[in-house]
Structure 1
Amino acid sequence: MQSLPIGIDDFAKLCRGDYYFVDKTLAIRDFLDTHGEVLLLTRPRRFGKTLFLSMFYYFFSAVQAEENWKLFRGLAIERAGASYMAEQGKRPVLFVTLKDLKHRTWVAMLDKFRFLLSDLYDRYAYLLEVPGFSRAERKYFQRIHDGQGTPVEMEEALRRLMDMMQRYMSWPYPIRKFLVFIVV
């Protein structure tokens, strides 16, 4: 018997488990058709924002694209047409969740955000080994990776990481085609 996915906020875990869920994958079609620059989800706490955006991550991310394709087999987005499934696994995507930043002071919140960026940069540490980046870019990357970034450096961290990813991958999409999902 299938169970309810209480506490599950990862789309892959939901699909691979034996859970009931409502297929909301047509939201991907709507996102592609509207060509909006920003998708704003205003929902109360514990209303599935992380799960919803992780669905977008698994659909668009070029990382493990073939494996992720299996998650959408038989779902509404697959039945929506081949042109939509052709977009699967075609984008560099950063997925960041801020939902665990629950500290009471600005200093503690900033420290937690510094660790969050450090973890994110750690996923892309292979960029430090790639030729083609300047010494200054490597130094900046290492500072964020090591949790030593200043607030000003942290402010630019996502944009700079996307820029490095784009150049590393020789990605045909301009920066505006990057997808960045931030859950608050």
Structure 2
Amino acid sequence: MKANFDIESIIDSGFISNELDYERALIADRKLRLLAKESIHFKNLRSKLRDLIAKYESSEWSDVNLIDESKLLEVEKFEQIAELERVFIENRKQSIRKKLKELDLTQENLATLLGHKSKTHMSELVNGIKPFTLKDLVIINRILKIDVSLLIPLFLSNEEQLRVKEAVKKLDKPKVKLNVEDLLLS
């Protein structure tokens, strides 16, 4: 999983570059639909994201002749990855909210503990619109006593899996073995 997926970085780049980020953008659009009711910031963010989604769809999906079975299989794989990421972020959000409630803390209190000043920024972090920093997650782990496996994704993207497999093979060290189960997303 791309632990640092950042919707605003995609918007700042001005384009969606691949199918996985497209699937992530679709999920982000659904999140932002709900958050847009709370804030004009989220409404503007969603509008920009929707423009990028439309641009990507127009460039990648408008010619029916270019859509073959391999492209559809690739899309299915990236849909599954994006969904796993969404579920992970949702579970992390629920774990944080549950602990905050148990400790009689608010999201604003958590922002203070993490050194963040903006309520909007804290909402973006908790909802997966922006990525937490590693420092944020360590503080949450230490203060809220949430298991690190619920805070930090412990699986790798397909690209990283391939890179690690090749690196292990290249090292050619019998004691260094790749445990495939540890790398898989599912």
**TM-score range with shorter-chain normalisation?**
under 0.3
> Normalising by the residue count of structure 1, what TM-score does the alignment of the two structures yield?
0.26
> Normalising by the residue count of structure 2, what TM-score does the alignment of the two structures yield?
0.26
Q: Pick 1 or 2: higher relative contact order, CA cutoff 8 A, min separation 6.
A: 2
Query: Per residue, is there more strand in 1 or in 2?
Result: 1
Q: Which has the larger radius of gyration?
A: 2
Query: Per residue, is there more helix in 1 or in 2?
Result: 2
